[in-house]
Structure 1
């Protein structure tokens, strides 16, 4: 039995609810840190950052699933819905912290969305995720048929906008957002024709 077979066998034995639970746990931990003063002198901004970064990490993890199966034979497709929904959960928390704890003033919220490009891009990415979250269920898959796959290609745009949003809000030169954006572009490139050639090279 190959390592890939062992990984696939282990993945089949893991219930998806465990993944939901594990991915949920950072949220109350971050909130607890904020309430106990462990997030520094700007706990709200730090909480925003942690939740947004977690969302971006999960979106990138979701992008990894198809290339892993297509090029390396590792099948984690059964976890893609959980990863996607939890990414939406963290994006929503990120947005709520910004709305409720940071800005607070409704007029200022709309002004920021319209005048600050990085917020405009972030909101556009969030908007693309909404129909994906609403249709991440078996009923929608059956109802939409082949259109469901086409709709869920919005994920590519959402994660790309998320990466650009992170890069734009960073002050000065920071390597981390560049690495995130590079990972996103690399994973999206694997969906082009040369992605198959890359997969054959890796398996060789």
Structure 2
């Protein structure tokens, strides 16, 4: 498949969860508490795209079987990262609109009630910075500092997992699944780094 069509396909597939969420909202298919469902699902979509983005490089380097490989996926990593930002902003916006009702005077009280928000704020700020600096012109302008900045994506993954873990009330399923994903994908990179130093 030509690169242009792969870009279009990647974009449409990445946008599909949000499109379904809008349609489900308009057709009243989100259950008794649609506001809570929207906040929950946008949070899940954020984590899924974070893991997918982190998985691109390991897939490219480790999965090579005859003519089957994932090298083509590398050029779409920036788009996947931007969709991570998109869903993170959707998650934050849904929380501000549906949970707080845009009443920012409640925000301090929410930090006490929901301390996991403290991990969300720096993660979203970093994602915004990565989105702003994701262009080739910014890459040239920042030079070596560009890679240092974009390595913060690993920190974002840890902060996102802490955000999920601290919300656990009964089932640890999401926290365990997301935690394993982050641990594996960051662990692979740590092994590569140690091998280079050896």
TM-score under structure 2 length normalisation: 0.86
User: What aligned pairs does 1:177-196 form with structure 2 within 5 A after superposition?
Assistant: 177-193=175-191
Tell me by how many angstroms 1:139 deviates: 1.2
Contact 1:114 1:120 in 2 (8 A): no
Match in the other structure for 1:175: 173
Match in the other structure for 1:89: 86
Tell me by how many angstroms 1:144 deviates: 1.1
Instruction: Give the unaligned 5+ runs of structure 1.
Output: 1-9, 198-204
DSSP-derived class of the 2:140 partner: helix
Answer with 31-40 or 77-86: which moved more: 31-40
User: What aligned pairs does 1:137-148 form with structure 2 within 5 A after superposition?
Assistant: 137-148=135-146
Contact 2:78 2:134 in 1 (8 A): yes
1:134 to 116, 132, 135: 132
1:108 to 92, 102, 106: 106
Match in the other structure for 1:158: 156
Matched, 1:18 2:19: no
Match in the other structure for 1:39: 30
Structure 1, residues 165-204: CA drift from partner, whole Å, max 9, x if none? 112213213312211111101110001136888xxxxxxx
Q: Which fold has the larger relative contact order, with Cα–Cα distance below 8 Å and residues 6 or more apart in sequence?
A: 1
Cα distance in 1 for partners of 2:112, 2:124 equals 15
Tell me by how many angstroms 1:12 deviates: 4.8
Contact 1:67 1:190 in 2 (8 A): yes
1:79 to 67, 71, 76: 76
Count how many residue pairs are aligned between Structure 1 and Structure 2: 188
Match in the other structure for 1:7: none
Cα distance in 2 for partners of 1:170, 1:46 equals 16
Answer with 57-66 or 31-40: which moved more: 31-40
Structure 1, residues 11-66: CA drift from partner, whole Å, max 9, x if none? 85743133122211321321221232211111011011111101100000011111
Cα distance in 2 for partners of 1:97, 1:194 equals 38
TM-score under structure 1 length normalisation: 0.84
Contact 1:52 1:91 in 2 (8 A): yes
Structure 1 vs Structure 2 CA RMSD: 2.1
